[in-house]
């Protein structure tokens, strides 16, 4: 009889995968806590939180129950002309936590669409006020915002979308001053970025609709981190030209960076905040684009043409909203905060031991995210294979190795991960 992996290989096409060279996928039968288990019962510690979505561990019974209960009363209803308690409650709760300027919530169902919506809102915001010359966007080199066309256009310099460059709208891109422990050239890199931004602003500032950025950490391009003071400097400058600000916190949200949202570590408040990934604790697809009353009001008119003509069939799915409400409750419990702190501490200790080996460079840490550069892409690939066979699920980005575990992960499990990495790097 064929295995599940073989049946998969015969029929499926996987995301971000070169199907010709990829190994057969590992068939996962169940998940519990920070582990997923394959067909043979082998456990893998999920050190990338299943593409950054999982917060409280797999198959968390509190969230599972919330979905079940919700499914027995209302599984879905269209969100134009209708509403329901899970959707309203979630936004009310988030509004209490977020900066007071962020007051309007628009649902969708994945990170890319949350970004598309922010871009469309920003663009139409200006058109609705007859400022038709604001057609450009600003973004950062290495910024990744999703795989739909608008999101790809603002992420054009991420290296993920090269095949489609000819189809993108115009975006001005700023070099990102990525930094790490003991970085000597940080000031220089930041000044160079700001100088380029200044030039764009002088030449084309009045034509820019919005800037989009991943605050504090660029995820997909390799967990590249920057200082909060740099973002404040950027926002201060673009504000002088009336440019709207979009924070893409799809990866950084929900305590990944140590605070509930990365924006808490930055003074500047955005006009748009995009959330997804961790919002349901990793159970169901859901996203929010959150904006200000001043953006919202620019869409209010007798004329239907001023409305935002955007929506998805599964907008504000009640099951996903119920999962998000349950996840938020878990997230705000004291135990979770302590778990997040002990993950950060385990990272600190682990990175310190790795740093003693000269082959590991550019160590960096923010909240529950740790990252460093491995000697080469080939060796990082070998490390991945080695870790997988030892039951540690990692997925390096090129030669960047990073660990981004669910909050259910113990210090012991993280220590064991760092030991496995250390033994791999010292082996040669």
Ligand X SMILES: *Cc1c(COP(=O)(O)O)cnc(C)c1O
Can residue 116 be called a binding residue for ligand X (CB under 6 A)? no
Range 144-203, binding ligand X (CB under 6 A): 144-146
Of 174, 250, 288, 360, which lies in the binding site for ligand X, with binding defined by CB under 6 A? 250
Of 115, 178, 263, 290, which lies in the binding site for ligand X, with binding defined by CB under 6 A? 115
Closest CB to ligand X belongs to which residue? 111
Least gap, CB of 220 to ligand X (angstroms): 6
Q: How many residues make contact with ligand X (CB under 6 A)?
A: 15
Least gap, CB of 27 to ligand X (angstroms): 22
Least gap, CB of 260 to ligand X (angstroms): 16
Can residue 258 be called a binding residue for ligand X (CB under 6 A)? no
d(CA 31, CA 45) in angstroms, rounded, equals: 10
**Do the strands 171-174 and 104-108 form a parallel or antiparallel pair, or are they unpaired?**
unpaired
Neighbours of 81 (CB within 10 A): 6
**How far, CA to CA in Å, does 63 sit from each of 59, 95, 110, 286?**
8, 21, 19, 14
For ligand X, the closer of residues 231 and 360 by Cβ is 231
Can residue 219 be called a binding residue for ligand X (CB under 6 A)? yes
For ligand X, the closer of residues 115 and 425 by Cβ is 115
For ligand X, the closer of residues 33 and 155 by Cβ is 155
d(CA 102, CA 31) in angstroms, rounded, equals: 36
Can residue 60 be called a binding residue for ligand X (CB under 6 A)? no
Can residue 220 be called a binding residue for ligand X (CB under 6 A)? yes
For ligand X, the closer of residues 244 and 273 by Cβ is 273
Over the range 97-133, which residues count as b (16 or more CB within 10 Å of their CB) and which as e? ebbeebbbbbbbbbbbbbbbbbbebbbbbbebeeeee
Where does residue 388 rank: exposed (0-12), middle (13-18), buried (19+ CB within 10 A)?
middle
Closest CA to 57 of 346, 335, 415, 288: 335
Can residue 289 be called a binding residue for ligand X (CB under 6 A)? no
Of 46, 116, 248, 373, which lies in the binding site for ligand X, with binding defined by CB under 6 A? 248
DSSP 8-state class, residue 271: S
Residues that bind ligand X (CB under 6 A): 110-112, 115, 144-146, 214, 219-220, 248, 250-251, 276-277
């Amino acid at each position: 009889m064929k295995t599940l992996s073989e049946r998969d290989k015969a029929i499926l096409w996987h995301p971000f995968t070169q199907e010709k060279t990829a190994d057969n996928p590992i068939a996962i039968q169940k998940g519990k806590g920070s582990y997923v288990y394959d067909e043979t019962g082998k456990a893998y510690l999920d050190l990338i939180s299943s593409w950054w979505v999982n917060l409280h561990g797999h198959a968390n019974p509190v969230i599972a129950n919330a979905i079940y209960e919700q499914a027995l009363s209302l599984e879905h209803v269209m969100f134009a002309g209708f509403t329901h308690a899970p959707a309203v409650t979630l936004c009310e709760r988030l509004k209490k936590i977020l900066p007071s300027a962020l007051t309007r919530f628009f649902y969708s169902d994945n990170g890319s669409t949350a970004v598309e919506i922010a871009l469309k809102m920003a663009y139409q915001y200006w058109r609705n006020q007859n400022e038709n010359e604001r057609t450009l966007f600003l973004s950062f080199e290495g910024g990744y915002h999703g795989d739909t066309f608008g999101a790809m256009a603002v992420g054009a310099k991420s290296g993920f979308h090269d095949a489609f460059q000819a189809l993108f709208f115009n975006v001005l891109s700023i070099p990102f001053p990525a930094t790490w422990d003991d970085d000597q050239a940080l000031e220089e890199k930041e000044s160079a970025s700001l100088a380029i931004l200044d030039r764009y602003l002088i030449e084309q500032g009045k034509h820019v609709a919005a800037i989009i950025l991943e605050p504090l950490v660029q995820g997909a391009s390799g967990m590249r981190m920057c200082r909060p003071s740099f973002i404040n400097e950027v926002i201060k400058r673009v504000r002088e030209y009336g440019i709207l600000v979009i924070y893409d916190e799809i990866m950084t949200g929900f305590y990944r960076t140590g605070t509930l949202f990365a924006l808490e570590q930055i003074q500047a408040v955005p006009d748009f905040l995009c959330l997804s990934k961790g919002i349901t604790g990793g159970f169901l697809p859901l996203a929010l684009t959150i904006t200000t009353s001043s953006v919202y009001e620019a869409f209010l008119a007798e004329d239907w043409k001023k409305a935002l003509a955007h929506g998805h069939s599964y907008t504000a799915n009640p099951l996903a909203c119920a999962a998000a409400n349950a996840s938020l409750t878990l997230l705000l419990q004291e135990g979770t905060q302590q778990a997040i702190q002990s993950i950060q501490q385990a990272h600190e200790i682990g990175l310190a031991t790795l740093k003693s080996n000269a082959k590991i460079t550019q160590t960096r840490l923010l909240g529950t995210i740790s990252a460093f550069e491995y000697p080469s892409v080939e060796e990082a690939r070998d490390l991945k294979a080695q870790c997988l066979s030892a039951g540690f699920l990692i997925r390096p980005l090129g030669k960047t190795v990073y660990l981004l575990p669910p909050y259910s992960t113990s210090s012991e499990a993280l220590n064991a991960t760092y030991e496995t990495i250390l033994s791999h790097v010292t082996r040669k």
